[in-house]
Structure 1
Amino acid sequence: MNFIKKIIRGKKAQKVYRIIFKLVGFLPKQRNLVIFESFHGKQYSDSPRAIYEYMKDHYSDAELWWSVDRRHTDLFKEMELPYVKRFTLKWFWLMPRAKYWVNNVRLPNWLPKPKKTVYIQTWHGTPLKRLGVDIEEVRMPGTSTEKYKKNFLNESLKWDYLVSPNRYSTEIFRRAFGFNGEVIESGYPRNDYLINHSQKDVEQIKEELNIPLNQKVILYAPTWRDDEYYSVGNYKFDIKLDLDKLKQEFEDDYVVLLRMHYLISENLDLSDYNGFAYDVSDYVDIRDLYIISDMLITDYSSVFFDYANLKRPIIFYVYDLHKYKEDLRGFYFDIEDKAPGPLTFSTSDVINQIKHLEANGIPEGYYNEFYERFCYLEDGYASKRVVETFYNN
């Protein structure tokens, strides 16, 4: 089986794929065909999902398909979504003939964009940590700094539109991605749901996850570390948050949801924390976890930019701040001074901050400066603005 996989994913196979893709790409475009993909075909989530759902409701003429990793088709079957498995004959027939691609990460390096295809890159977060060519030294497996940056620049040349959540991101994206095309500065489509959701949505999600309606929810959503990995695309994560201490302090009132980054390959064993800690890393879309959470704990993940739209407490658990800031990535703004919440460096710090927030709440106007810089475009209509910009233009 591994031998067959190596052949399928090998360089010779990729050359064949590229030739097939190019040839089919010369055929006339299907004018209303839109192909969506989220996180390498592994999820039905993020801004591609928001754009898909908006188009499904408002554009009956559009033919909408999802490009899906073959290991993740069960979800799309269960939700009765139109999908095609990546790198199958049907995919090679549909993808090059689609008029529009909507994606939130990079496509395979070998994949050429046909001349008349319109590629909408939504990306997947407001940048805190350095991106693309702004990373001084790349420490990811299977690449070098020079190769990584070259591949990033080659990818961005394929984009016709790049979605940006705010002016701050637009300036960084243009430089970090080497992008000179049209930026749709619209707010993030994925955040429309945070603005438009209802209390009924909250109750349904809690019931689905078997969380008692009267229990408060802490969402822990850390990012990945470039230099901690098993292999290409499989990153380690050693949880430094002491769940025993959290359980001892808060199990009567809270549950904790652990949401690992999509690149992290750990399988969490939470059998000792039944009813208190839940592994929701494979949950369909983090947007649902945001709206049921009363508080977010994160580190350098871009999730806090989105969560800030809810104006709920955020705690930053940054036990390796110096290493991450100085050695791994570096930041675009001073998190120590500008973070919309307290920085903590141990589980005891986290517990004290939770208790402080319980007792005092968030000070009035606490989020105002941050919100006005990063969230000012989030009004629930970003998907509409994006689709009206690219579709049939």
Structure 2
Amino acid sequence: MKIFKSIALFGYKVVFKIAGAVLPKKKNRIIFESFLGKQYSDNPRALYEYMLKEYGDKYELIWSVDKRYIQLFEDKQVPYFKRFSLKWLIAMNTAGMWISNSRLPLWISKPKKTTYLQTWHGTPLKRLALDMDEVHMPGTDTERYKKNFTTESSKWDYLVSPNHYSTEIFKRAFNFNKTVLETGYPRNDYLVNYNDEDYIHKLKVDLGIQRNKKVILYAPTWRDNEFYARGRYKFDIQLDLDRMRDQLGEDYIILLRMHYLIAENINVEKYEGFVIDFSSYEDIRDLYLVSDILMTDYSSVFFDYAILNRPMLFFTYDLESYRDTLRGFYFDFEKDAPGPLLYNTDEVIEAIQNIDQDQFYDLRQNFRKRFCKLENGQASKNVIEKTLK
């Protein structure tokens, strides 16, 4: 059975490559994909929704979807093809443009007349691709990882950058020498345009969030060396949630948002009313808006959240290991983080209890000037106008 599957997969890859060479292109067909087809979210969603509104009758807009996540797209009546199906193969090889926020499988060859718009998915704190000294991910080694990454990035025609800082890093770390669109991030248009008290109230009602509680959004990243298998990473919550509930539960609730690569199904049933797992929720953007505080670690989420100018906390219990062994940082995180670095549950509780003092206000303003100045609510418009020629 395994042999037959391998033969079928090889045949599919061959057909994909041939299809790209022989099938006629439909310039007005655009394929969108977010986080390996697992989400309707992020920069591709922002670009899709902008195009649907402004050019909906002129373009055929289709999503590439992992078969395990089809229901979400059906519920929202978003047109899609199942990833790696025959329809998907034809659509990918006849599309005028691909729009994705993460790498596609290495074997996918881009047809000559297809434009590949890579939006990526965050301003980098941790080192990326060619800038990494060592790679600790499963199923690869440092040399192979870097070679595969640059093989993929060579297919990109455009790369979206949220700020000049990212532009310089992306060009070097991705070995990218084509067109960088330094526009701000399309996904952040939503944070600029919908940061409104009435809209946020409606979101809280829709999400079932109590109005009388302040909201902490906890959104940690993944660790390269903690995994079950390639693309399936472990994560253990290092917080004492029992103590946090005892100390904070009267005034706060926690929204939990795991990274898309984390395979865990975090069981928080015993903390009902205090911790709500939103890891499978379609898009983190709504969670940003309804939260009063962001708690993260080394995830790029804090660059986006800074747009809202709300307090941020950094639970960095493994800072030395992450900084010195796993990834390394592009700037002095301990000096320039726009919020306190916290190492245990006691420090987290104390920081939340004293959040109104906002001792990091000035540092946060400097951070926003450096990383968020392009975020004016027009990034989607600017990206589309620069790529639809």
Does TM, normalized by the shorter one, top 0.5? yes
**1:156 and 1:367, CA in 2 relative to 1: closer, same or farther beyond 3 A?**
same
CA drift at 1:363: 5.7
Residues in 2 aligned to 1:265 and 1:112: alpha-carbon distance in whole angstroms = 28
CA drift at 1:364: 5.0
The two structures have a TM-score, normalised by structure 1, of 0.96
Is 1:43 the counterpart of 2:57? The answer is: no
| Among candidates 78, 87, 96, match of residue 81 of structure 1 | 78
**1:170 and 1:94, CA in 2 relative to 1: closer, same or farther beyond 3 A?**
same
Contact 1:18 1:112 in 2 (8 A): no
Q: How does 1:107-256 map to 2 (within 5 A)?
A: 107-197=104-194, 198-256=196-254
Residues in 1 aligned to 2:204 and 2:240: alpha-carbon distance in whole angstroms = 24
- Could you say which residue in structure 2 is the equivalent of 1:370? 367
- Could you say which residue in structure 1 is the equivalent of 2:17? 22
How far does the alpha carbon of each residue in 1:223-250 deviate from its partner, in whole angstroms, 9 at most, with x for none? Answer: 0000000111110001001111111111
Report which stretch shifted further, 30-39 or 264-273: 264-273
Is 1:273 the counterpart of 2:271? The answer is: yes
Q: Give the counterpart letter for 1:82 in structure 2.
A: P
Runs of 4+ in 1 over 6 A off after TM superposition: none
CA drift at 1:14: 4.1
Contact 2:339 2:360 in 1 (8 A): no
Q: Give the counterpart letter for 1:40 in structure 2.
A: L
- Could you say which residue in structure 2 is the equivalent of 1:328? 326
- Could you say which residue in structure 2 is the equivalent of 1:355? 353
Unaligned 5+ segments in structure 2 are none
* Fraction of identical pairs, as percent: 57
Residues in 2 aligned to 1:78 and 1:184: alpha-carbon distance in whole angstroms = 33
Residues in 1 aligned to 2:345 and 2:377: alpha-carbon distance in whole angstroms = 36
Q: Give the counterpart letter for 1:62 in structure 2.
A: Y
Q: Give the counterpart letter for 1:253 in structure 2.
A: D
Residues in 1 aligned to 2:182 and 2:241: alpha-carbon distance in whole angstroms = 40
Residues in 2 aligned to 1:345 and 1:57: alpha-carbon distance in whole angstroms = 45
Residues in 1 aligned to 2:51 and 2:345: alpha-carbon distance in whole angstroms = 44
How far does the alpha carbon of each residue in 1:348-388 deviate from its partner, in whole angstroms, 9 at most, with x for none? Answer: 11111111213x23565442211111001000000000000
Contact 1:14 1:110 in 2 (8 A): no
Q: Give the counterpart letter for 1:226 in structure 2.
A: D
Tell me the number of residue pairs that the alignment of Structure 1 and Structure 2 aligns: 386
Contact 1:313 1:362 in 2 (8 A): no
Secondary structure of the 1:266 match is: coil
Contact 1:128 1:300 in 2 (8 A): yes
Contact 1:298 1:317 in 2 (8 A): yes
Residues in 2 aligned to 1:48 and 1:364: alpha-carbon distance in whole angstroms = 32
Secondary structure of the 1:367 match is: helix
Residues in 2 aligned to 1:99 and 1:71: alpha-carbon distance in whole angstroms = 26
- Could you say which residue in structure 2 is the equivalent of 1:294? 292
Residues in 1 aligned to 2:142 and 2:360: alpha-carbon distance in whole angstroms = 43
Report which stretch shifted further, 363-372 or 54-63: 363-372
Contact 2:338 2:360 in 1 (8 A): no
**1:364 and 1:385, CA in 2 relative to 1: closer, same or farther beyond 3 A?**
same
Unaligned 5+ segments in structure 1 are none
**1:361 and 1:338, CA in 2 relative to 1: closer, same or farther beyond 3 A?**
closer
Q: Give the counterpart letter for 2:267 in structure 1.
A: D
Q: Give the counterpart letter for 1:235 in structure 2.
A: Y
Is 1:65 the counterpart of 2:62? The answer is: yes
Secondary structure of the 2:354 match is: helix
